[in-house]
Amino acid sequence: MQNGYYILRTCHGTCVEATPDFQVRAAPQTPSPSFTWFVAFNHGGVTFQSCNGRFLCADSMRAVADRMAAQEWEHWQPEFRGTRVRLRSHQRRYLCAEPNGSVVADRERAKDWEEFTLVPASGFQPMPAPAMPMPMPMPMPTYGITPGQYYLKSAAHGTFVEPQANFGLMATRSVTPAGVWTVQSTPQGVTFMSGFGRYLCADNLRAVADRTAAKEWEHWQPEFRGPRVCFRSHQGRYLCAEPAGRVVADRAQASEWEEFELVPAGTMMAPSIPPPAYYPMPVPQPVPVPVPVPMPMPMPMPPHHPHHQPGGRMGSCHETSCQYFMQQVALPHTHDVSCRDIHWPFFMKHGCPHHSFTSTQHQ
């Protein structure tokens, strides 16, 4: 078969219709364009786009026509049986039209109710999918929730859903910046991103907040009950906050424990950093204190000789006795001797403060 506009006729004589509220039902055919689907065959299977521009989707065993883009859930695997075709979803369940008009996608085996006939729509010419006129852009669904930042409060217990350091969840009495959830609406549902920058996910009936991207398991379908709301996962189970603080996603039916309130956070808060158990903070190292290096003591200069004044006439060091030096400088001599005898070793080591002495001059 080729791409084009078709009517999907059931074995009961009814036709599959996309209703204005994006639901799917089987009803007697009328001239309404809601019975016309644009069928496109591609490598991923076959897609069905309604007159509203939305795609037929298998969502948790239900058949809806509310998706703006054709991804995994919107592709069906055709199994032809002569002039009839069976449509198998990504969950390996078959599309089924029941006698009461319900259209579901939960049948494990295909029989008469799961077989359809693709009848070319009169007044529409088959055309390749790329040449299909683009539908009018549809506003992003909000599901009754304004995108923003919220605290997720348990309506039954008054606790708040808080992500933990191990990316698990607990219902606590207090709130932290990590418990500010950024709520966004997409064609697949609503997503919750924690203050850690991770998404709330239903993983095998567990509720965790460890995913870095929002895919199939990170989308939730809200169901309002007055001011309260229940959140259904891709597995058809509900998010639940238990009295002991455990948060799970395994409830088949929604009661009081599965009801929540979205409390606006009020102010924009930056994502917080998980505790040191997962992101250790560097330990400040002590700054080394420089040890002062002692300056070398200057060499003492010998006192001026009374006969050798600076700038004066250079005399002979052995002309007179050195009673003055014996009083000012500790010398090994204790009696009156000449300068040559006393100071020759001193001047050879330190030099004379007034003129240069050599060993020759002091001999």
CB 259 within 8 Å of CB 228: yes
| Mean pLDDT of the 321-345 span | 47
Pick from 43-47, 159-163, 328-332: least confident = 328-332
pLDDT of residue 319: 40
pLDDT tens for residues 16-60? Answer: 999 888 899 998 887 778 888 999 998 889 999 998 888 999 988
Of the two residues 80 and 273, the one the predictor is more confident about is 80
The whole-angstrom separation of Cα 61 and Cα 106 is 5
* 148-264 CATH choice from 2.60.120.620, 3.40.190.10, 3.30.450.40, 2.80.10.50: 2.80.10.50
- Does residue 352 have a pLDDT over 70? no
What single letter denotes the amino acid at residue 53?
Answer: G
Per-residue pLDDT band for 191 (boundaries 50, 70, 90) equals: very high
113 has pLDDT over 90: yes
Q: What is the pLDDT of residue 131?
A: 45
% pLDDT > 90, the chain: 38
pLDDT tens for each residue of 205-252: 899 999 999 999 999 999 988 889 999 999 899 999 999 999 999 999
Look at residue 145 in the predicted model and tell me its pLDDT: 82
With cut-offs at 50, 70 and 90, classify the pLDDT of residue 154: very high
Look up the CATH architecture of domain 4-129.
Trefoil (2.80)
pLDDT at 349: 55
Contacts of residue 43, Cβ cutoff 8 Å, sequence gap at least 6: none
CA distance linking residue 191 with residue 218, whole number of Å: 6
CATH 2.80.10.50: which residues of the chain? 4-129, 148-264
Number of Cβ within a 10 Å radius of residue 331: 15
Q: What share of the chain is helix, strand, coil (3-state, %, to 5)?
A: 10, 35, 55
Cβ 222 vs Cβ 260: under 8 Å:
no
pLDDT digits (tens, 9 = 90+) for 279-318: 445 567 777 777 787 777 765 555 554 544 444 444 444 4
Instruction: Give the predicted TM-score (pTM) of the model.
Output: 0.40
**Of all residues in the chain, what percent carry a pLDDT higher than 70?**
71
What is the number of other CB atoms lying within 10 angstroms of the CB of residue 181? Answer: 24
Predicted local confidence at residue 326, as pLDDT:
47
- pLDDT at residue number 232: 93
pLDDT at residue 237, as a whole number: 93
Asked if pLDDT for residue 363 goes beyond 50, the answer is no
What pLDDT does residue 281 have? 53
Query: DSSP assignment, residue 23?
Result: B
